[in-house]
Structure 1
Amino acid sequence: MARRKVTNTLALALLGLLLERPMHPYEMAATLRERLKDSSFKINSGSLYDTVEALVRHEWIEPVETVRDGNRPERTVYAHTELGRQEFVSWLDELVRIPVAEFPRFIAAISYLGALGPVRAADALEERARHLAEHISGADATLEQTVGAGAPRLFMIEVEYQRHAWQAELEWTRQTIAEIADGSLPWPEPGTY
């Protein structure tokens, strides 16, 4: 498989938006935020404009018009090229089909959990569990607000997926806290870790 020319997942989001209709970058950012996609993609104006430039450079999108709304500056509106549409669908298919090694910071941190000692490790995990519970509650509210209000479930499926991932992590975290508390998770002697 050839190496993809653009791999930034923000590019994936922008290409997805442009399936709907041509847009200018400001509208793309506003639409992503309005749809709460800023929890799935890191969105800031610098990275967004850099991503748009990369997509244009690789001929995945192209400018189709320049518009001006009142006193605002002119804005360039972009649309998919045929190559861009093909690359988007191919990339999306690949991302759904093939699990890849991602390197979450939490996994790196828990690989050295023993260095904290049992009391501090349990305390840190307790705090994490509280944050996870808050995230789950927020996801539930978002899903109720959008899907409960009639939006198709498919439009928020990534929030649903993330909610399930947080729930699984919360269950693991609580189980590990319990094992630390009851002593069933063996701890190295101080100074041996």
Structure 2
Amino acid sequence: MAKRRKVSNPLALAVLAQLLMGPLHPYEIGRRLTLQDKGRNIKYTRGSLYMVVEQLAKAGFISEDGTVRDTQRPERTIYALTEDGKAELYDWLRDLVARPEHEFPKFGVALSLLVVLPPAEAVELLGRRRDALTLETEEIRADVKASVDGGLEWVFVVEEEYRLAVLDAEIRFVTTLVEQLGKPEYVRKWQEMFEGET
């Protein structure tokens, strides 16, 4: 069972990791997350980022470390990682890396109810999904290659390599499922179960 966290939003983990490199104000944290394309794995908005910063400060994981003002913007509070925050970052990250946790993807819901769709329609829809997945993998591969060719160390795109492995597995799964749904014996059984229901 996953440990109960004082701040459980995954965005908080990203904020703690950014502050490990030194004190920052929330705007700069957001800018770095955008530059690093962390939005592919962590949902956030400017508002949610500031809310998480407040929660982390309240939990004692970060603390105010001064202010900065440039001529164009209002004064901004800079935050630094506390020792408790550093401990939380490492504990949380180690937990996520080491312990598999069941997630509830929407596609899993669709698969659990797939039987209600007529086989031909399910095959057509899954074919569209496979095409979209294939296009997505091509785009990710191109982005990863460009990043690595541009001098970025592979470890900084490892989450994209993981995403590619998951997408490739899903493409193989969908391809096999399409074949199974198209078999005459499945179509016949489906018609027997749902005759007159569609």
* Structure 2 SS opposite 1:72: coil
Tell whether 2:191 aligns with 1:190. Answer: no
State how many pairs are aligned: 193
- C-alpha offsets along residues 43-79 of structure 1, whole Å, 9 cap, x if unaligned? 2011111111110010001110111122212111111
- Paired position in structure 2 for 1:154: 155
* Structure 1 SS opposite 2:149: coil
The verdict on how the C-alpha distance between 1:2 and 1:137 changes in structure 2, with shifts beyond 3 A counting, is closer
Query: Any stretches of 5+ residues in structure 1 without a counterpart?
Result: none
The verdict on how the C-alpha distance between 1:184 and 1:41 changes in structure 2, with shifts beyond 3 A counting, is farther
TM-score, normalised with respect to structure 1: 0.94
- Paired position in structure 2 for 1:174: 175
Pair member with larger Rg: 2
- C-alpha offsets along residues 77-129 of structure 1, whole Å, 9 cap, x if unaligned? 11100000001100000111111111111101110001111111111111111
Query: Any stretches of 5+ residues in structure 2 without a counterpart?
Result: none
- C-alpha offsets along residues 10-62 of structure 1, whole Å, 9 cap, x if unaligned? 11111111111211111111111111111011120111111111100100011
CA–CA distance in structure 1, aligned partners of residues 100 and 93 of structure 2:
12
The verdict on how the C-alpha distance between 1:184 and 1:60 changes in structure 2, with shifts beyond 3 A counting, is farther
CA–CA distance in structure 1, aligned partners of residues 186 and 11 of structure 2:
40
Tell whether 2:99 aligns with 1:95. Answer: no
- Paired position in structure 1 for 2:40: 39
TM-score, normalised with respect to structure 2: 0.91
CA–CA distance in structure 2, aligned partners of residues 129 and 184 of structure 1:
23
* Structure 1 SS opposite 2:118: helix
Moved more, 63-72 or 177-186: 177-186
RMSD (Å), alpha carbons: 1.7
- Paired position in structure 2 for 1:80: 81
